[in-house]
Structure 1
């Protein structure tokens, strides 16, 4: 289990957060099983050795570890002298989420299912800026006076930063280049591009382009183009007096019924409902 999945739509509800020091090197990690709590450890200095389900982890300055709820973990080696660390205990979410959250630009209308995803983080790793990370954790500790919701909100932001750091670290320039070129090409086009047009422009096999795009963005190229077309439709609805049929025709949809279906797939609501809900000039 080399990864940890957290729900993107729920705060990691903090149970306990604290800073500890072992100046003499007398402590070992407690032998315990926490059925309802995940544990996050960040070592500021020194070294901590932890075993979880017979997997051994050695944490040194600047490294972190997630320990999973319901799994026994313990230590067999005393901490190094002058070891200091932060820990967060937070309640485990019981729901299993399979779809990954992808960091993309927000559309004009965000469907509810956008949020019902998971954030996948490495189980263990090193932070890019240890001093900054220690400062952020100390802020969470100090925020006791502001209550558990603020602490949980800060904890969520901290885990998001770890998630973003992991994404940046694992980026492949060639893959980023392909995704960027596809996006630029689709944005510049006034019609929905065919697979042949995209392959010809990038001088690559379309199946390869399509697989790379889906893996990096979480959506197909076709769905991405639908999103762009619906963004244009929303602008037309807001900036003109065109009706559904006229907008459908202007955007070269085959008929208003297909346009309405795509609009609802992208936004979660029908164009007729959107027109009823939007602001109107009196």
Structure 2
């Protein structure tokens, strides 16, 4: 299975997009190898039979498939009579080939958006079925309409709309995965850490509340979120600290003490490790309100 990855900070660049129908079922998917172009197909009615590097796919109404660049793909059976579909051909962003970065983590985070959030990749689902076909068709119609518009900013607008569309498919795919047991456990841990009245739960408290081995919980949490439990708890504490600074609810020493840090120096080190700047710099550079 050849997946298509995008950097979380760059856009897929649209080459071509359109709507096609085969009323009589006399054609089949073309035999080709597109060196620089990825392909997205969404079937409205009928069925498309296609192979990619000897892997067989059948795309039925309400389903989609991504085909990777520089991999041979070809049609199998003729299109089913009356088959209708949309397609998007797109390039990777120039000089932004996806590296072996960490996958974007689909879990609740603190309200702060940290820089490393963007040093991730998005693995688009190879294929899937949507449960809101009318909505998807409307989105694709809008993208096609923009493609047919000669506006000078059309390429940039097309890439932005396409990225938003792919993100919606990606989000739906991840939401389906959240039903698994391991995702349930991690979400329970996050809920516990975020709602606890204690500034920082101990490993024993976490294990006792969830009734599971703490070492296992730590390993699972790190694998699924990309964060250690300690790091995540520190992020939540720094989020509280930032809210206190915005409200002028104390200086560095007072906030450090209120949040249970051993001393202001350790608090400042943790704050800089999370935000990239010391708390004094953050206070001077950001708005505050009463």
Tell me the TM-score normalised to structure 1 length: 0.91
- Report the counterpart of residue 159 of structure 2 in structure 1: 152
Bigger drift between 154-163 and 174-183 goes to: 174-183
Deviates more, 1:139-148 or 1:214-223: 214-223
* Separation of aligned partners in 1, 2:9 and 2:46: 35
Change (3 A) 1:163 1:259: same
User: 256-265 or 16-25, which moves further after superposition?
Assistant: 256-265
Distance in structure 1 (CA, Å) of the matches to 2:56 and 2:5: 20
Q: Which residue in 2 is equivalent to 1:29?
A: 29
Q: Which residue of 2 aligns with 1:276?
A: 284
Partner of 2:231: 223
CA deviations over 1:72-99 (Å, ceiling 9, x no partner) = 1112432121111110011124231421
Aligned residues: 282
Q: What CA distance in whole angstroms lies between the structure 2 residues aligned with 1:204 and 1:88?
A: 46
Taking the TM superposition and a 5 Å limit, the aligned residue runs for 1:1-282 are: 1=1, 3-93=3-93, 94-105=97-108, 107-144=110-147, 145=149, 147-172=154-179, 174-187=181-194, 188-240=196-248, 242-279=250-287
Give the Cα separation in 2 of the matches to 1:85 and 1:51. 17
**Structure 1: stretches of 5+ with no match in the other structure:** none
Shift of 1:45: 1.1
CA 1:56–1:185 in structure 2 vs 1: closer, same or farther (change >3 Å)? closer
C-alpha separation in 2, matches of 1:235 and 1:27: 61
Distance 2:288 2:191 in 1: 33
**Structure 2 CA distance for aligned equivalents of residues 50 and 270 of structure 1:** 55
Contact 2:98 2:121 in 1 (8 A): no
Distance in structure 2 (CA, Å) of the matches to 1:105 and 1:169: 16
Query: Post-superposition shift, 1:9?
Result: 1.1
**TM-score (norm: length of structure 2):** 0.88
Q: Deviations over 1:21-79 (max 9, x none)?
A: 11121222222221211110111111211111121211111111111111111124321
Counterpart contact for 1:69–1:92, Cα < 8 Å: no
CA contact (8 A) 1:7 1:97 kept: no
RMSD: 2.2
1:15 Cα shift? Answer: 1.0
Please state how far the C-alpha of 1:253 moved relative to its aligned partner: 1.5
Query: Which has the larger displacement, 173-182 or 110-119?
Result: 173-182
